[in-house]
């Protein structure tokens, strides 16, 4: 037990209150139960100290500093952050680069219209091995000269990252000082704790198999740490679903939400755009050079014959070759 949380023997209410205040100060952005404090203080079997903690929490609720609902407490945050919308101007869009076909110059056309502002979150939700890492690393490559960058991964190893980077020869990831132009770290949880507020932060990827609906709170925490920077988050996606882990909870706070399937990318949500509305656009692509780069990017639409189901009258659709999509305007 940390010494700072220890309530001494024969405590007074004043001493216990001070210790609880210290504990609350370290957990003021969390919901908690009394048992959480009991456990941290190791006083589960000490009725005197437990009663002092209970008194303190009762006082905090009565004073309006805590709210208690069904034995769960949370801080009441009365801080108001006023938004100065007059002096910021109307064009705060960042010049963000997106992946493209390096060898054939094919592009995801949404990149020409999407507007990404400071503090935005981009979500790339894809089924396993559909190209999420390729997308994030290509974004890193396109932006590392213009923005400080932090790349967090839960499957990153030095060898795997180096092998892929060695294939991405169209930009040099090493600066004039002989060091990488970005930082790569291993991270499995509590991503918001190391967000760089003014950088492009990449998270590859957030794994929430046990509690998928926590994704909304996680993205909210990340967004709260951003200032001039943004965050690009990769999520897993069930092949049968349109969006990734946590369903619509993963969509709400995103400014741009991209859904990836094998050789397909769909703009599920684009909150800000300039010249045309890209919402709903779908692209076909190939990933070549050992998973390092995109190729043959084309805008596609659902097959007019099978309507995306790949079959007509129980047989393989010969119009789309059973892919469910045909090139746009075909």
Q: How far is CA 177 from CA 170, 173, 180, 232, in A?
A: 19, 11, 9, 27
**Nearest CA-CA partner of 124 in 234, 220, 204:** 234
The domain defined by 109-299 carries CATH number 3.40.50.300 = yes
- Residue 235 · residue 245 · CB < 8 Å: yes
For the chain, the structural domain boundaries read 3-75, 109-299
Q: What is the pLDDT of residues 160-198, one digit of tens each?
A: 899 999 999 999 999 999 999 999 999 998 899 999 999
- Please provide the DSSP assignment of 36-88 as one string: HHHHHHT-TT-HHHHHHHHHHHHHHHHTTSEEEETTEEEE----------SSS
Q: What is the pLDDT of residues 4-27, one digit of tens each?
A: 445 545 567 888 889 899 998 888
Instruction: Give the separation between CA 62 and CA 58, rounded to whole angstroms.
Output: 6
Beta strand 264-270 with 149-153 is unpaired
pLDDT confidence bin for 91, thresholds 50/70/90: low
Q: Does pLDDT of 225 surpass 80?
A: yes
Instruction: Give the separation between CA 224 and CA 62, rounded to whole angstroms.
Output: 29
Q: What is the pLDDT of residues 25-81, one digit of tens each?
A: 888 878 899 999 999 999 989 998 999 999 999 999 999 999 999 989 998 888 877
pLDDT of residue 316: 84
Prior bond of 148 cis (ω within 30°): no
User: Fold identical between 3-75 and 109-299?
Assistant: no
Q: 16 by DSSP, 3-state: which?
A: helix
Q: Does pLDDT of 3 surpass 50?
A: no
**Is the Cα torsion angle 316, 321, 326, 330 positive or negative in sign?**
negative
Higher pLDDT, 145 or 2: 145
CA atoms within 13 A of residue 231's CA, in its CB half-sphere: 28
CATH code for the part of the protein at 3-75: 1.10.10
Q: Does pLDDT of 159 surpass 80?
A: yes
| pTM > 0.85: yes or no | no
Instruction: Give the separation between CA 94 and CA 2, rounded to whole angstroms.
Output: 44
What residues does 73 pair with on adjacent strands?
Answer: 32, 68
The mean pLDDT of 107-132, rounded to a whole number, is 94
Q: Does pLDDT of 108 surpass 90?
A: yes
CA 285 to the chain's CA centroid = 23
The mean pLDDT of 284-294, rounded to a whole number, is 93
């Amino acid at each position: 037990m940390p010494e700072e949380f220890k309530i001494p023997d024969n405590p007074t209410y004043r001493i216990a209150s001070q210790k609880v205040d210290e504990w609350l100060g370290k957990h003021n952005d969390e919901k908690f139960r009394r048992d959480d404090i009991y456990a941290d203080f190791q006083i589960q079997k000490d009725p005197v100290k437990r009663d002092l903690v209970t008194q303190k929490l009762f006082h905090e609720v009565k004073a309006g500093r805590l709210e208690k609902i069904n034995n769960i407490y949370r801080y009441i945050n009365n801080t108001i952050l006023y938004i100065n919308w007059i002096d910021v101007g109307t064009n705060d869009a960042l010049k963000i680069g997106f992946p493209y076909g390096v060898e054939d110059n094919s592009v995801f056309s949404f990149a020409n219209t999407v507007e990404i502002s400071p503090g935005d979150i981009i979500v790339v939700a894809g089924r396993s091995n559909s190209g999420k890492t390729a997308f994030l690393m290509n974004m890193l490559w396109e932006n590392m000269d213009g923005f400080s960058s932090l790349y967090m991964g839960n499957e990153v190893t030095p060898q795997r990252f180096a092998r892929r980077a060695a294939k991405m020869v169209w930009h040099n990831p090493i600066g004039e000082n002989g060091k990488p132009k970005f930082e790569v770290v291993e991270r499995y949880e509590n991503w918001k704790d190391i967000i760089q507020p003014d950088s492009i932060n990449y998270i590859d990827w957030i794994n929430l198999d046990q509690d998928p609906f926590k994704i909304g709170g996680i993205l909210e925490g990340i967004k709260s740490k951003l200032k001039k920077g943004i965050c690009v988050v990769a999520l897993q996606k069930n092949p049968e679903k349109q969006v990734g882990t946590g369903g619509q909870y993963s969509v709400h706070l995103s400014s741009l939400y991209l859904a990836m399937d094998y050789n397909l990318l769909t703009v599920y949500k684009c909150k800000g755009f300039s010249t045309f509305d890209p919402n709903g656009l779908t692209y076909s692509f190939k990933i070549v050079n050992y998973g390092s780069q995109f190729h043959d990017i084309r805008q596609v639409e659902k097959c007019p014959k099978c309507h995306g189901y790949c079959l007509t009258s129980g047989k393989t659709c010969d119009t789309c070759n059973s892919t469910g999509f045909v090139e746009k305007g075909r």
